[in-house]
């Protein structure tokens, strides 16, 4: 980001809602970053810092080892909002008193607002909020005063008017708090005096300038999969560099039906330098006889690296690798659990080796998935790319349980294509997070045309989710599931039974392998 971008820093104390706070700030057109609770305040100095939010968290402030931020945070002369644990921390650090509740308060509560300005400008006297705490502030520090209370706690919201420090015991970021987004916006606009200028267009403009400045006249390579992240990344970098960017699309033979052709069609109007490589025979020959899912992944990863390197070397001297790392990936490695240098292999292009000696360009690393889609829309990417369901790096290899053969791949591709066709025609495709077929390593007895059959079983999997971290099985209409099953059995030779997976995550995972 440009250094002049208005920035809100969110210090993460381990709340399950921290990313939701960031989403609410971003939705209000203000840029924000999530940092671990122990972040060095000196790291904020180069930013146009407008305010700080202290997240909630599962700890008790008086417990040994409880997360406590550097007190220099409070000397930065910017407004601060403490949420739940963040409020308790404010009281604890500045001479107030925090006590354990007789019973944990979790769920809806009514607060009575006593001061209708600042945080609560435009609110009525009573407000339904969402509580989630086992402790409460029983005595305020000097300089603080009450803004709201509830039946169970004396200080549901407080402020220090001199230092512009505010705290709420409830969670304004969750949907269960009525008009909670207005509380956050009152903090952003009225208290922090933000202007709300962070938009897809402003992001694109500033990012294009940064990429041009950093890369100069050097060459950049990017692994294009056709998924949302790599596609948006490719178009954004192409907007900055044009023919200096070379995109490599590797067809490993494990893609969905007609996928390579669909990707070619999607990018035909973008004047991009895309190299399409058909390496399907190489991948399938190396996967012959392999059953273990982790071994499948290792083989696919190594082969991808080999093919990618071969093509990258043909381009000439390349100094940069662009990839579509997103903000949740970054947060995972620098979270409440502590800073970490670990980068998961699926976050980069197949786990490219260090000896390639390429500098990373990750223009989307500040964005959530929904923001990436908005950037893609601004860049005029087609809906069939932006609306695509997530697809695993190893492709259909992890949706074929057991050995991978061309025959089994063809069976799965046909079944999966029917499933997706019917979801789209029934308008359910965009209602689910992810949907796909899994070819099982079992055969079952069936009857077709008065003849006994002994053929494959395919499982349908469709889930609803916000971020893929947790998921519930999608409650598709029986009629739709029946139509899909009927079509697959009638049209796909080699399948005589269809089952529907009704497992949630956890305890199951979304993918089967």
Average pLDDT of the chain?
89
pLDDT in tens, 491-502: 999 999 999 999
Cis omega before residue 507 (within 30°)?
Answer: yes
**Tokens standing for residue 161:** 């008017």
3-state helix, strand, coil in the chain (%, to 5): 35, 25, 40
Three-state secondary structure call for residue 438: strand
Pairing state between β 31-36 and 6-12:
parallel
Does the active-site annotation cover 347? no
The terminus-to-terminus CA distance of the chain in angstroms comes to: 37
User: What average pLDDT does this structure show over 405-428?
Assistant: 96
* pLDDT tens-digit series, residues 423-449: 999 999 999 999 999 999 988 887 666
Both tokens assigned to 140: 């305020």
Instruction: Tell whether the model's pLDDT for residue 344 goes beyond 50.
Output: no
Active site includes 84? yes
Q: What is the pLDDT of residue 336?
A: 43
Nearest to 6 by CA among 193, 187, 182: 193
32, 69, 84, 194: the catalytic one is 84
The SS3 of residue 366 is: coil
Contacts (Cβ under 8 Å, ≥6 apart) of 344: 329, 332
Q: Closest Cα to residue 37, out of 13, 73, 20, 53?
A: 13
Q: What is the mean pLDDT of residues 378-403?
A: 91
Using one digit for the tens of pLDDT, what is the confidence trace for 83-103? 999 999 999 999 999 988 766
Share of the chain above pLDDT 90, in %: 66
Are 98 and 59 a contacting pair, CB within 8 Å? Answer: no
What is the rounded distance in angstroms from the CA atom of residue 463 to the CA atom of residue 475?
A: 8
Q: Length of the chain, please?
A: 513
Tokens standing for residue 20: 């939701």
Region label for 352, one of left (φ > 0), alpha (ψ between -120 and 50) or beta (otherwise):
beta
Residues 6, 105, 173, 422: which is the catalytic one? 173
Other Cβ atoms within 10 Å of 411 Cβ, number: 22
For residue 91, what are its two tokens?
């009281």
Decide if pLDDT at 343 tops 50: no
SS (HEC) of 464-510: ECCCCCCEEECCCCHHHHHHHHHHHHHHCCCEEEEEECCCCECCCCC
Distance from chain centroid for Cα 29: 18
Residue 353 is predicted with a pLDDT of 54
Active-site residue (options: 69, 171, 311, 366): 171
230-278 pLDDT, tens digit per residue, is 999 999 999 999 999 999 999 999 999 999 898 888 898 888 999 999 9
Mean pLDDT confidence for 456-481 = 91
């Amino acid at each position: 980001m440009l250094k002049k971008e208005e920035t809100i820093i969110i210090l993460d104390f381990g709340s399950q809602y921290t990313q939701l706070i960031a989403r609410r700030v971003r939705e209000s057109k203000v840029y924000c970053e999530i940092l671990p609770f122990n972040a060095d305040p000196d790291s904020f100095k180069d930013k146009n810092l407008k305010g700080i939010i202290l997240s909630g968290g599962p700890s008790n402030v008086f417990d040994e080892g409880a997360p406590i931020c550097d007190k220099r945070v409070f000397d930065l002369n910017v407004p601060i909002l403490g949420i739940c644990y963040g409020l308790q921390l404010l009281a604890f650090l500045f001479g107030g008193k925090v006590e354990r509740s007789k019973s944990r308060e979790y769920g809806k509560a009514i607060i009575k607002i006593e001061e209708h300005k600042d945080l609560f400008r435009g609110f009525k006297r009573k407000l339904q909020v969402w509580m989630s705490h086992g402790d409460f502030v029983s005595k305020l520090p000097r300089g603080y005063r009450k803004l709201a209370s509830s039946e169970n706690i004396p200080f549901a919201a407080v402020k220090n008017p001199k230092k512009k420090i505010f705290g709420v015991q409830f969670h304004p970021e969750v949907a269960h708090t009525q008009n909670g987004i207005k509380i956050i916006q009152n903090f952003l606009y009225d208290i922090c005096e933000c202007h709300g200028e962070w938009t897809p267009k402003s992001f694109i403009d500033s990012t294009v300038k940064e990429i041009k400045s950093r890369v100069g006249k050097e060459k950049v390579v990017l692994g294009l999969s056709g998924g949302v992240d790599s596609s948006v990344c490719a178009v954004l970098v192409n907007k900055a560099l044009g023919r200096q960017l070379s995109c490599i699309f590797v067809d490993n033979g494990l893609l969905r039906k007609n996928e390579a052709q669909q990707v070619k069609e999607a990018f035909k109007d973008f004047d991009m330098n895309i190299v399409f490589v058909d390496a399907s025979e190489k991948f399938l020959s190396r996967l012959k006889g392999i059953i273990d899912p982790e071994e499948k992944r290792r083989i696919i990863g190594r082969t991808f690296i080999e093919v990618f390197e071969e093509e990258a070397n043909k381009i000439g001297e390349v100094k940069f690798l662009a990839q579509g790392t997103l903000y949740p990936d970054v947060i995972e490695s620098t979270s409440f659990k502590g800073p970490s240098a670990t980068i998961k292999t699926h976050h980069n292009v197949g786990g490219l080796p260090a000896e390639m000696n390429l500098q990373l360009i990750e223009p989307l690393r500040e964005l959530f998935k929904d923001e990436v889609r908005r950037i893609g829309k601004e860049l005029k990417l087609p809906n069939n790319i932006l609306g695509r369901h997530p697809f695993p790096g190893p492709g259909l290899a992890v949706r074929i349980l057991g050995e991978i053969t061309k025959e089994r791949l063809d069976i799965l591709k046909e079944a999966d294509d029917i499933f997706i066709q019917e979801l789209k025609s029934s308008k359910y495709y965009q209602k689910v997070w992810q949907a796909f077929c899994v070819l099982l390593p079992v055969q079952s007895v069936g009857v077709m045309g008065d003849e006994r059959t002994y053929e494959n079983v395919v499982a349908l999997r469709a889930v609803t989710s916000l971020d893929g971290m947790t998921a519930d099985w999608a409650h598709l209409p029986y009629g739709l599931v029946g139509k899909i099953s009927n079509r697959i059995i009638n049209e796909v030779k080699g399948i005589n039974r269809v089952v529907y997976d009704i497992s949630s995550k956890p305890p199951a995972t979304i993918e089967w392998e």
